[in-house]
C-alpha cells in the first residue's frame, strides 16, 4: 500500500501531523478488503473497531513523500485480531503500530465472520 | 461561535489549510442546533446536505488564533436555505462563504421541517 | 488522478464529508507536480494559495468508491491561475469546482515562475 | 478542556473516527499554552514531537457530544515528558492515552526550556 503525503497531511512544523500515520494504517487495512471487492463491514451495525494501539513515531515524513504501509497479522482470535503496521519511507522505517481490533455486531463484541478471518489470514 | 486554531488545522505553509475554514463553518451551523439541545438531523436518512458553496479566502490564520464565525441566513425556501458565513480574526474578515443547503429525507430533497426553519429564523 | 474513499473521509451520514472533495482537488493539483519530481512550492515563503472557490456538490460518494479527479486550466495570468476540477464516480460527475489560485512570494502576490506555468500548460 | 463532536469527527459508523481522539488530546496540550498567551513552540525549528503513544478506546462518542479532556503529567525529564490524557463523556471515560513527547531543537532532542517545564508542572 503506497500513500503519498499531501499538504493536508502536514502541519506547520513542515512534517506529517502525528495522528495521520494512524489514518494511513486504517487506509491500508481497508484497502485489503477493497482490493478483493469486499467491504470491511457487513452492514450498518457491524464492523471492526479499534480497541487499543501502541505506536512508535520513529522518523518524519514531508510533503510529496511516497510512503509504504506494510501490514502483518500478529494474531486472530474469536472476536478480535492484532495487527502490526509499519510505515516506510524508502529504506527507513518511520512508524510502527500494533493495533487491537474487535469485531462488533449488534453493538457488542462478536465472532469475526469467516469471510473476514480469511482476509486477515491472506495478509 | 469561537474556534481556536490547532496544529491539526495548519499545513506546512504555517497557515490554516484552506478547506478547514469550510469545516469551521459547518461547526458553526451545527452548534446552533446543539446549543438548543437539538440535533441538525432527524434520524439516519435525513438532514441537510451542501449543494453549492462560493468562498473567498481573504487573509490567513495561524496556530493559536481565536477566530469568530458569524452566520446569517440569506434565504429559506421550501427545501433549501442559503447561509452566509464570515470568519473573523479580531477586526479582520479572513473568510467569507455563501452556502446552499438542501434538506434531504428518504434520499431526496424534501420540505424543511418547521422545527428546523425556526432555528434558521432565529439566527 | 484516482482517489479511494476511506473511513476517514465519510461522516455519520454514510457519505463523504463535503469539504473532503476540496482536499481531493488539492491532492490532484499537487500530484501533477510530484509526478514530475517537482514540488508545488519553491521554498518556505512561496507557493500557491487558494483565493476563491465555487463548488457544486452534485452527487455523493461512499466508502470504497474509487473516484477520478480531472483537472483543467481555465486561465493563467501573471500571478494567478484558474483551474476547474471535476470528480467522477464511474460515469457520474459528483463534484465540480472552479478554484482561483494566487502565487505568493515574500508574502505578496507575485509573478508565477515559468517552471510552474509550464506545469499548468501541460495539464 | 471541553470539545464538541461535529460531523467532521464522525465516520459512517456514526461514531467518532478513532484517530480523532488523538487530535483532541493534542488540542488539550496546546490549549494549556494558549490559555497562558504562550505558544507550544519557540520558533520554526523547535517544539515537542510525539515519540510514542499507548491508547485505549473504551467507549464511543457521537455527534453533538460534549467531551472533556483531562491531562496529567506523569514525568518530566531533561528532553522528554510523559503525559496522560483521559477523555470523558459525562461520567464515562471513553479514551485514555499515555503519550511520550520529546523536545526537538535544531533537529535533535534537546533540553526542554524552563518556561515549558513550568507549564507542564502547572497542570
Alpha-carbon gap: C13 to the closest alpha carbon of chain B (Å):
7
Query: Across-strand partners of C92?
Result: C89
pLDDT in tens, D64-104: 999 999 999 999 999 999 999 999 999 999 999 999 999 99
Confidence category of residue B7, pLDDT binned at 50, 70, 90:
very high
| ipTM of predicted assembly, 2 dp | 0.95
Closest chain A residue by Cα to residue D43: A13
Indicate the pTM of the whole model.
Answer: 0.96
Q: Is the pLDDT of residue A42 over 90?
A: no
Residue C39 counted as domain residue: yes
What is the predicted pLDDT for the residue at B31? 96
Q: Count up the domains in chain D and report the number.
A: 1
What is the structure's pLDDT at C121? Answer: 81
Cell of C7: 473511513
pLDDT band, very low/low/confident/very high, at C74 (cuts 50, 70, 90): very high
Residue C123: inside a domain, yes or no? no
C18 inside domain: yes
Q: How far is B7 from chain A (nearest CA, A)?
A: 6
Q: What residue of B is the nearest CA neighbor of C105? A: B13
User: Which chains touch A (3+ CB pairs under 8 A)?
Assistant: B, C, D
**Active-site annotation holds for A11:** yes
pLDDT of A62 above 80: yes
Does residue C26 sit within a domain? yes
- How many angstroms away from the CA of A118 is the closest CA of chain C? 19
Domain CATH number, residue B54: 3.10.129.10
Q: Which domain holds residue C38?
A: 2-118
CB contact under 8 A, A7 and B12: yes
Give backbone dihedrals phi and psi of C68, rounded to 5 degrees, phi first.
Answer: -120, 130
CB pairs under 8 A between B and C: 50
How many whole angstroms separate alpha carbon A88 and alpha carbon A67?
6
Closest among B7, D72, B107, D83 to A15, alpha carbons compared: B7
CA separation for the pair A22, A57 (Å, rounded): 10
The helix-helix angle for B19-35 and C20-35 (nearest 10°) equals 170
Q: Is residue C44 part of a domain?
A: yes
Contact between D103 and D112 under an 8 Å Cβ cutoff? The reply is yes
DSSP, res B9 = G
Amino acid at each position: 500500500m503506497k500513500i503519498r503525503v499531501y499538504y493536508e497531511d502536514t502541519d506547520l512544523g513542515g512534517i506529517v501531523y502525528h495522528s495521520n500515520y494512524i489514518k494511513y494504517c486504517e487506509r491500508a487495512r481497508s484497502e485489503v478488503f477493497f482490493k478483493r471487492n469486499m467491504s470491511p463491514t457487513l452492514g450498518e451495525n457491524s464492523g471492526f473497531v479499534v480497541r487499543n494501539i501502541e505506536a512508535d513515531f520513529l522518523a518524519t515524513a514531508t510533503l510529496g513523500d511516497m510512503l509504504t504501509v506494510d501490514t502483518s497479522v500478529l494474531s486472530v482470535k474469536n472476536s478480535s485480531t492484532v495487527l502490526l503496521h509499519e510505515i516506510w519511507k524508502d529504506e527507513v522505517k518511520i512508524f510502527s503500530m500494533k493495533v487491537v481490533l474487535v469485531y462488533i455486531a449488534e453493538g457488542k463484541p462478536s465472532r469475526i465472520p469467516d469471510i473476514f478471518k480469511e482476509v486477515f489470514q491472506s495478509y
